Structure formats: structure tokens, C-alpha cells
Homo-oligomer: A and B are copies of this chain.
Amino acid sequence: MLFFTQCFGAVLDLIHLRFQHYKAKRVFSAAGQLVCVVNPTHSLKYAPTRCAAVQASTEQGILPHCHHQEAVHDPQLVPCTCPLFSCPWEGHLEVVVSHLRQTHHISILQGAEIVFLATDMHLPAPTDWIIMHSCLGHQFLLVLRKQEKYEGHPQFFATMMLIGTPTQANNFTYRLELNRNQRRLKWEATPRSILECVDSVISDGDCLVLNTSLAQLFSDNGSLAIGIAITTSKVHSSEAEM
């Protein structure tokens, strides 16, 4: 009986995700810039009563948050790095993008400069807004997370990860920019490799961090627009020339 209840729960989850996929990620172009509307997803990793099948597989391991704490048998295999799910998938780095698109329905956008428009910022933590960004011959994963590091005080964390190795990641610089209400906040950094754990980047706070009041100042009607630009980092390209 419990088994059937769990199966039914898993099917409901799949229908819910499919629905979210369809209503999310509308893309339109405003003033020459590609604007991508990204709807929030409640992180299933932190909701153990749902997604029973996935939960069962992770309970056998030691990795509630980050797959990289687990010993990977084949060093060429990369575990699934989608920050939303404790997914048992493993594969080569080259097929991570297709796995994220097909299994986790994460959209991919082209363009050197895009605007990431996260909707429903008021939703309670933990919530994630995720998109892939294809640029300069590589794919990047942008993660915006609402999380309560200090109980009762949700904060927003935004970071960009390269779907590639740390050495490849060192060749790029990403910029996140918020601009509204006579305030501007810019964060520039080298993207981390997806082989590192997005959870640890966020818990270290080595990313764009916003408290709730700042997020409200930068939001318009519950949506937060983040301008994203990726460039090749000059230091490394000049080093390469030498």
C-alpha cells in the first residue's frame, strides 16, 4: 500500500514538474537584449516527503547535498550537478548539458548578454531559479537561490558555473548586474567549474549576496532582473599569448 502511495506521489511530482516547465522560461527580446523569464522551482532536495524514488536512491549514499562527497568510481564520470535534485545520474562532462535539458528540463539560452528575470521572489526559501547560458562556445549554469542561512532571514545568492573543468573556467569572467531605483550592484568573478559543488559556493558566500530589503529595492512587481555578461578574462588570454 505504501509502495503504491509513493508511486502515486512520484507521478504527481512528474506532472507538476512538466507543468512548471511549460509555464516557465518565456523568452522575449527587449531593447536588443534577450530577456529570459525564469519561474522558481522549490528545491526537491530539501523536501524529502516528495520524489520518493530519488530519495530512496540517495538514502543509500552519504550525500544529501553534494554528490562530490561520494567516491566516483570512474574519474571521467561526472555526477549530475543539477542543484535542484539529488539525482543518481553519472556521465561524461560532454553529456551533462543534454542530461540537464532532457531530465531536468533546464532551458538553454544563447547570447553574450542576457537578462535573467526571476519571478515570484516572495516565495519562501528554499527556492531556486536556474537557467543554462550558451556563450563563447561553452555552456554556463546560472543559479539564483533563496536560502535561510540565518533562521528567519532569507537571503538571495547568485552564481555562475561553467559546465567544464576548473582550468576552462579560469578563462572566463562573468558579471551579474542589478540596476533599479537609483541603485546599481555589480558582481564580477571567475565562474566556478560545475565539478565544484554549487551548494558549497553558496554556503561560502563567494557569490552575489542580497538581503531581502535590497532584493525588494531591485525588484519590480515581484520579479528580479539580473543582467548577465560573460567575457574571456584578459589576464589569462594574455598569459596564453605569452
Contact = CB atoms under 8 A, between A and B. Distances in A.
A125 interface: no
A23 to B, nearest CB: 32
5 contacts: A182-B235, A183-B206, A184-B187, A205-B214, A209-B214
Interface string A181-199: 0111111111000000000
Interface in A145-173: 150, 153, 173
Interface of A: 150, 153, 173, 182-190, 204-206, 209, 211, 213-214, 217, 233, 235
Nearest to A152: B150
Q: Is the interface of A mostly helix, strand, loop or mixed?
A: strand
In the complex this chain forms, how many copies of it are found? 2
B185 A187 contact: yes
Contacts of A183: 187-190, 206
A49 B235 CA distance: 52
B209 A211 contact: yes
Contacts of A187: 183-185
